[in-house]
Structure 1
Amino acid sequence: MYKIAKPFFMICQTPMHVGSGNDLGIVDLPIQREKETGFPKIEASSLKGSIRESFEEKFGQDDENLNFAFGPINNNDSYASALGFTDARILLFPIKSMKGVYAYITCEKVLHRFLLDLNYAGIDNKFIIPQKNTVPIGSNLIIEGKGGSENVSLEEYTFKINKDDKCTELDKWLSKNIVPEGELFNYMREKVKRDIIVVDDSDFSDFVNLSTEVITRTKIDSNTGTVEDGALFTEEFLPAEAIMYSLALASPIFTDENKKPNIFKVEESKDKGKKEAQKVMDYFIKNLKEVIQIGGDATLGKGITRIKFFEQGV
C-alpha cells in the first residue's frame, strides 16, 4: 500500500502526443482520453515509462536504486516497484482568445477532482471553486460589449462573463503553485494569475475535444516525388502551454531487508514503512529532471515537458 502521495504538474513546452492507437474517427492517431469525460489524459503506464527513461538516461538502465524504485527490468526478480503514478489529468487548457492571444480554461468538474486528489495527498483545500463563466479581477481577456456587458471571445465563440473574487484567489493560488520559480517564468506566472476562465463543464468538454492540434503528415517517395501509398495520416496533439497534473505514489521497498539499497534503509520503528516510503519519494524528487520528454515523436521535438512539484504549505 502506498504511504505517501506527492502532486506534480506537467507544463507542455511543445505539443504532446501520447497516443491511444489507430482510430476509426476523423483523426487517425488520437491522443489518450478519459472514457467517461473525453478529457485528455496520460495513462499512468505511459507517464511512468517516460519518467523512468529520464532516470535511465541519468543513471543507466542497470542502476540498483533505479530498479528498486521503478521496478525490475527482469521479470524474474521477485519484487514490485516502490514508485507509482496516477493517470495525468488536464488542469488548464490553452484556447485562442481575441484579446490576450490565448486564455487558459478550466471548469468546475476539473477543479473539483483536483481538490479531491490534493485531499488524497493530505493537502487541505486551498481555494474555493468559482462559478462558471467567471474571470479574475484584472483579466486581460475582457471585451466590453453594448450596455456595459463584459465578454470574452474564445476561438469563434463569445461568452458573457463576470469578474469574481473566488476566481481571483484561485488564479493567485495556481500561479504560486504550478508555475516554476524565477524571472524566466514571470510571463507565465502573470498569465495564470490573470487569464484563467472557469467555463461550463460542457463548454470545456467541447474545447478539449475540438481545439487540440491535428496535423496531417505524409511520407514522400523520393523516386516519384509523390506521397507513398498509405503514408498520408493525421495525428492529434495536446497543445503547447497545456498544464496537467499527476500524483507520485511511494511505498516501502518490496524486498528482504538485507537486499535493500542503503539509500532506502531506515531504522526499526512503528512508522518504518512511512519513513522508507519517504526515502523513495525523496529519491524521486531529487533526481527527476526539470524537463523531460513524454509521448511520441521525440525526434520531431514533441512532448518536451517541464515538471513542477507541489510545495506543501504554499
Structure 2
Amino acid sequence: VPVVPEPNGALVPEGAVKTLFLEEFRFTPQPTDLSAVMAAVARLMGREDALAALQRQLVVVDDDRFSHLARFATPVNPHVCLDHATKTVKPGALWYEESLPPDTLLYVGLYAQATRVRGESKTAAEILNHVVVDLFQRPYLQLGGNETVGMGWCKVTMCRGEG
C-alpha cells in the first residue's frame, strides 16, 4: 500500500473525486495509481463489480486519521429495555452495540504448527486444513451477536499462499 505523504491527504484512484469529506475531516485527494491495491482487495471481496466499486469508493488515509475514524466514526447504538409498568428503564437494561459498516473488509492470516501434545502426530498442514474445513465449510460466517436481525454476517473468501 502506498504511503500517504501528508495527514490531510487521501490517496484516491486516478479520475476519482475532487473533494473528500470523511466525518469532520476535509481531505485533499491525491490521484494515485492504486490498481495493484484494488486488484488485491477485489480478489478478497469476491464480487463481480468489485473493481468498479473500488474505483468509486477506495480512499487511503494515513494511520493516524484511520485510527481516529475507526475509533470515533464507527456506529455505536444505545439500546434500552423499558419496564412496561413504570415506563422507565429496567435496572441494568441499558447497553450499547457497535457494528461495522456494510462492505467492511476484514482479513485474518491463519498459521498452524505441528501438534506438541504427547502421543499425537498431526502436521501443521493437517491442523490448518482441519480449521479451514470446520470453520469455513459454508461461504458465510456469522461473527458476534444479533444474527437474527442480520448483523455480523461475513462472506468468507480463502486466499491461499505459502510463506
Range class of TM-score, shorter chain: 0.7 to 0.9
| CA–CA separation in structure 2 for the residues paired with 1:293 and 1:306 | 9
Structure whose residues are more often helix by fraction = 1
2:139 aligns with 290
**Per the alignment, do residues 225 and 247 of structure 1 end up closer, same or farther by CA in structure 2, a change over 3 Å counting?**
same
Do the aligned partners of 2:139 and 2:157 also contact (CA within 8 Å) in 1?
Answer: yes
1:179 aligns with 45
Question: Does residue 1:234 correspond to 2:92, yes or no?
Answer: no
Structure 2 SS opposite 1:246:
coil
Matched letter for residue 76 of structure 2:
V
Matched letter for residue 283 of structure 1:
H
Deviation at 1:219, TM superposition (A): 0.6
2:2 aligns with 130
| CA–CA separation in structure 1 for the residues paired with 2:56 and 2:39 | 8
Number of matched residues?
154
Structure 1 SS opposite 2:38:
helix
| CA–CA separation in structure 2 for the residues paired with 1:277 and 1:230 | 46
Deviations along 1:61-95, one digit per CA (max 9) or x if unpaired, are xxxxxxxxxxxxxxxxxxxxxxxxxxxxxxxxxxx
> What are the ranges of 5 or more consecutive residues in structure 2 without an aligned counterpart?
5-9
Greater RCO (CA < 8 Å, at least 6 residues apart) = 1
> What are the ranges of 5 or more consecutive residues in structure 1 without an aligned counterpart?
1-128, 143-149, 265-275
2:7 aligns with none
1:281 aligns with 128
Alignment partner for residue 110 of structure 2, among 243, 248, 271?
Answer: 248
1:221 aligns with 83
Farther-moved stretch of structure 1 (130-139 vs 200-209) = 130-139
| CA–CA separation in structure 2 for the residues paired with 1:222 and 1:301 | 27
| CA–CA separation in structure 1 for the residues paired with 2:157 and 2:101 | 18
Do the aligned partners of 1:294 and 1:304 also contact (CA within 8 Å) in 2?
Answer: yes
**Per the alignment, do residues 232 and 256 of structure 1 end up closer, same or farther by CA in structure 2, a change over 3 Å counting?**
closer
Deviations along 1:247-278, one digit per CA (max 9) or x if unpaired, are 21212233415xx6xxx5xxxxxxxxxxx211
Q: CA RMSD in A?
A: 2.5
| CA–CA separation in structure 2 for the residues paired with 1:309 and 1:242 | 16
Moved over 6 A (4+): none
| CA–CA separation in structure 2 for the residues paired with 1:299 and 1:190 | 31
Deviation at 1:235, TM superposition (A): 2.9
Alignment partner for residue 212 of structure 1, among 74, 84, 102?
Answer: 74
Question: Does residue 1:152 correspond to 2:20, yes or no?
Answer: yes
Do the aligned partners of 1:172 and 1:193 also contact (CA within 8 Å) in 2?
Answer: no
Matched letter for residue 134 of structure 1:
L
| CA–CA separation in structure 1 for the residues paired with 2:105 and 2:41 | 11
TM-score, normalised relative to structure 1: 0.43
* Identity fraction in percent: 25
